[in-house]
Structure 1
Amino acid sequence: MRNGFRWRQAVVALAVVAGVAGCQDGDSGTKAAGASATAQPGARTQSPEEAAQAVRAAYTKAAAAKSARVEMRLNVADDRAPGGSTFSGVQAWGPSAADLKVYDSSYLAEIPGAPVETRVRSVGGATYVDLGTGLSAQTGGKRWLKVEAASADGDELTLQLTGGLAAVNMDLPKELGLLASSPALRHVGTGTRDLEGPRGYEGELPGGRLMQVWIGADGYPVKTVVHTETPGGGPRTSLTTTYSGFGAKAAPRTPPAGDTIAFPDLLKRVVRG
């Protein structure tokens, strides 16, 4: 029974790995607590109007590009499934799609037989995780796990662990548009510990999320950080994304249906087993 429950938690945690690749609204949460960027001494602080203008310009450029190369680090603070994963590859938002490598993942490390590194594809409104061949006994021989938002319905633990995923599934232009309209938007100077030169801005998004963005001299976003807390003691997430190669093509293919297992079906198999 204990082993079965561990498996159930591990498979739900795998949904966290899948969830970052999608692009859905992040509209749940309470006020997010996150470290603010700090203005450099002597730097001129832009007015709120200037800050909004700069973020709107970045929105326009990102929306026109429709995609970019990304490296994302997701950290989740939660009593049930804390951990983190790193993703790299191409993410698109016009329309939504992604083809990402997953590595340095505590969630994969917790699942017996799971690969150390894997791939995640987001296409057609669903997200697919390549489980490799080490989990064939639990998946009925299927290689790809399919995760959809509806997968969280009807199961309290699953809902708690996957219901907050929308908070980290970022449509970059949409979030920049929301940030530009934030009454709390402010300029926080130039540069960070790892980025010298880009202009930094931060503000609250709907749902109480805190977003920070650094914009390069060419007007494109260089880096974003989104902090989110879900209500009722749910997951607290921090998603840090660096961007390059705007306009890079993301063309992930949907895995064969015969080689795919849906997330609810996998949960049922684990519980029965």
Structure 2
Amino acid sequence: MVALAVVAGVAGCRDGDGGTKAAGAPATARPATQSPEEAAKAVRAAYAKASAAKGARVEMRLNVGGDKAPGGSTFTGVQAWGPVAADLKVYDSSYLADVPGAPVETRVLTVDGATYVDLGTGLSARTGGKRWLKVETGGAAAGDELMLQLTGGLTAASMDLPRELGLLAGSSAVKHLGPGTHGDFKGAQGYEGELPRGGHIEVWIGADGYPMRTVVLTEADGGGVTTTLTTTYSDFGAEAAVQAPPAGGTVAFTDLLKRLGRG
């Protein structure tokens, strides 16, 4: 699950030398006009604005490809960073659709270093009425395929936008993609680069200096699993007033496995 913790991602474009254009690209990039130093400066400025805002409304689409738990989910709601918190609705999820008794759409909360998934009435009937699945990244069940199915790669809900922008700004080769040319992205500036931990990030920055959309492409260690997380941002400064569900109403993933008959 740690390997699939994809951070923010943009359906942006990568035109130019050997580049590819991501599906659903919001704008067409023109030839780059900024030097790597100028590009890094622009990304650092967006980092500063996002950090000060501490949160935003988001719409995220996670797509997972490869042999292990391929599929996708959409998340909408409010996400915060420093500390990381989120209150998101999950829908259009192939993962939920594959789990008998799971709801068609559900709610995901991230608070105090843990993420909680509302199991709905169907699954909570098999957990003694405990409604919330508690997931702690890096736990004993990390990487389990059923974990990925039940959570839909929900560590996307724990993304830290300023951290990702900071990593991009510190890259040795930030590339300016040029300005967007149509729709909401007209006048926005696109940038891309590699992340130190592996993977590729693109960000589109609006005329107000705030990130508008990001895309992170990641391949898990050893290959075989690729992730794309596309995130659109609005209403910077929105607060995620999240409280953890009562401890008596939560069930750990390993306990849920036992209750579902996987021993």
TM over 0.5: yes
Over the aligned positions, Cα root-mean-square deviation in angstroms equals 3.1
SS in structure 1 opposite 2:197? coil
Shift of 1:159: 8.6
Shift of 1:168: 8.0
1:188 is matched with: 177
1:66 is matched with: 54
Report the structure, 1 or 2, having the larger helix content.
Answer: 1
Q: Report the identity percentage.
A: 67
1:202 is matched with: 192
Number of equivalenced pairs: 246
Query: Residue by residue, what CA displacement relative to the aligned partner does 1:161-199 show, whole Å, maximum 9, x if unpaired?
Result: 89x876884211011011011112100011177632210
SS in structure 1 opposite 2:121? coil
SS in structure 1 opposite 2:260? helix
Shift of 1:272: 4.4
Q: Within 2, Cα distance between the matches of 1:222 and 1:199?
A: 10
1:110 is matched with: 98
Range with bigger deviation, 166-175 or 248-257: 166-175
The partner residue of 1:93 within 72, 76, 81 is 81
Shift of 1:80: 2.7
Shift of 1:151: 2.8
Q: Report if the CA contact (8 A) 1:67-1:248 is conserved.
A: yes
Range with bigger deviation, 71-80 or 51-60: 71-80
- Say if 2:225 is the partner of 1:248: no
SS in structure 1 opposite 2:51? helix
| CA pair 69-157 structure 1, distance change in 2 beyond 3 A | closer
Q: Report if the CA contact (8 A) 1:131-1:145 is conserved.
A: yes
| CA pair 269-261 structure 1, distance change in 2 beyond 3 A | same
Q: Report if the CA contact (8 A) 2:32-2:177 is conserved.
A: no
Shift of 1:109: 0.8
1:139 is matched with: 127
Q: Report if the CA contact (8 A) 2:211-2:233 is conserved.
A: yes
Structure 2 letter corresponding to 1:50: E
Contiguous gaps of at least 5 residues in structure 2: 9-18
Structure 1 segment 193-272 matched on structure 2, within 5 A: 195-272=185-262
| CA pair 175-153 structure 1, distance change in 2 beyond 3 A | same
| CA pair 167-192 structure 1, distance change in 2 beyond 3 A | farther
